Structure 1
Amino acid sequence: MITMQYKIKLPNDYDMDIIRKRVQLNGMKTDGFQDLIFKAYLISENEHNKQYAPLYLWENQEGMNKFIFDGYFDNILNSFYWTTINIAVPITVDITNNLANAKYVLEVEHPIVPTTSMKKPNFTYPNENCFGKILTYNPDKWQYSEFYFYQELPPQTIQGSVYEILHISE
């Protein structure tokens, strides 16, 4: 499995309804996409930060390669700009059958600090009331990320990025 996410930073005065309408009209196009376990269409908006940041979980690289190189990712490049795609390796994937009911994703990023003995990262926050969680790592950047899927807004006591889910393709 592979996770993939690109984060499109938008101007503070950007009308996020443009993204909402885009996903409403086109989100279902990735339903059933080759090797895609899910794609969560994510947005974040507050007075300091607006982002479109879809998160993908791929069964293997074949579907991901098709998405990136066979014209599908061109829609992102042509609509926004050249952007980095963050790739990570899942350590733990715990998704319930209710994932489609999730409305929010909490992402918590951590550095992996230099050490002489590697230890596998673990989830650091309680996950009550979540419909799924994914723990990934990226050895190229030496970081790991936790993703929690909730129906209600996650607890405000947890430091991380909260995204609204506009659509989940499975």
Structure 2
Amino acid sequence: MHAMQYELTLPAGYDMNVIRDRVARVGHLLDDWKGLGFKTYLMRERGVNGSPVNQYAPFYLWNTVEGMNTFLWGGAFQGLSDDFGRPSVRQWAGLSYEEGGAVGSSARSAVRLGQPVPSGVELAGVMAEAVSETERLAGDDGVVFAAAAVDTARWELVHFSLWAYGTPKADGDVFEVLHVSAPGRERPARGRQW
């Protein structure tokens, strides 16, 4: 599993219906993308759920690096770059993935929490805690799935959870889910990824 996200932070007065319309028009194009586990089309709107910004920020869980590379280099990502400029693309190595009780339900919201891996700590212990947090999140009512990943260039953990209903019981940035493409939903290895 490999996690990926880019963020397009938009002006304060930007009409976010432009993003909603774009996703309604093109979101289905990745519904059968080879190598993709999930693409969650995410948006934050300034003043909603505590967001300080307008932002379009899709989050991906890739089953294969080849699928991710085909997306980035094969033309699909170029359309977004042509329309909005080329964003920086963050990538994390997968640590854990767990399905929640609402798996298969339509997602309404997502929560992403990034946190630094402290210096001078045993990495195995920190990663084991991240796996435990994924399991805990997946056990909460309304969770579709939870995942954790690590960026070893920045030594940052990311916890990501997708919610079908209820108020998310997770810390982090809250996003509205506009669409989910999940062609490889059944393929991510569950549990610890090492």
Instruction: Decide: shared fold, TM above 0.5.
Output: yes
Residue type of the partner of 2:76? Y
Shift of 1:46: 1.9
Structure 2 gaps of 5+ residues are 183-194
Looking at secondary structure, tell me which structure has more strand per residue: 1
TM-score by length of 2: 0.81
- Distance in 2 of aligned mates of 1:3 and 1:85: 10
The normalised TM-score by structure 1 is 0.92
Please list every run of at least 4 consecutive aligned residues from structure 1 whose deviation after the TM superposition is greater than 3 angstroms: none
Q: Does 1:49 align with 2:53?
A: yes
Deviation at 1:6? 0.3
Aligned 8 A contact 1:99 1:132 in 2:
no
CA RMSD of aligned residues (A): 1.8
Instruction: State, as a whole percentage, how many aligned pairs show the same letter.
Output: 29
Residue 37 (structure 1) aligns with: 37
Local SS of the residue matching 2:45: strand
What are the within-5 Å matches in structure 2 for residues 1-150 of structure 1? 1-47=1-47, 48-96=52-100, 98-115=103-120, 117-118=122-123, 119=125, 120=127, 121-122=129-130, 123=133, 127=137, 128-129=140-141, 130-150=143-163
CA distance in 2, matches of 1:131, 1:160: 17
Question: Whole-Å Cα distance in 1 between the matches of residues 104 and 119 of structure 2?
Answer: 35
Question: 1:98 Cα deviation (Å)?
Answer: 2.4
Alpha-carbon displacement from aligned partner over 1:7-36 (angstroms, at most 9, x marks no partner): 111111011100101111110000010100
CA contact 2:97–2:134 (8 Å) conserved in 1:
no
Q: Which amino acid aligns with 1:83?
A: P
For the structure 1 residues 84 and 77, does the alpha-carbon distance in structure 2 shift closer, same or farther, using more than 3 Å as the test? same
Uncovered stretches (5+) of structure 1, i.e. residues with no partner: none
Greater fraction helix: 2
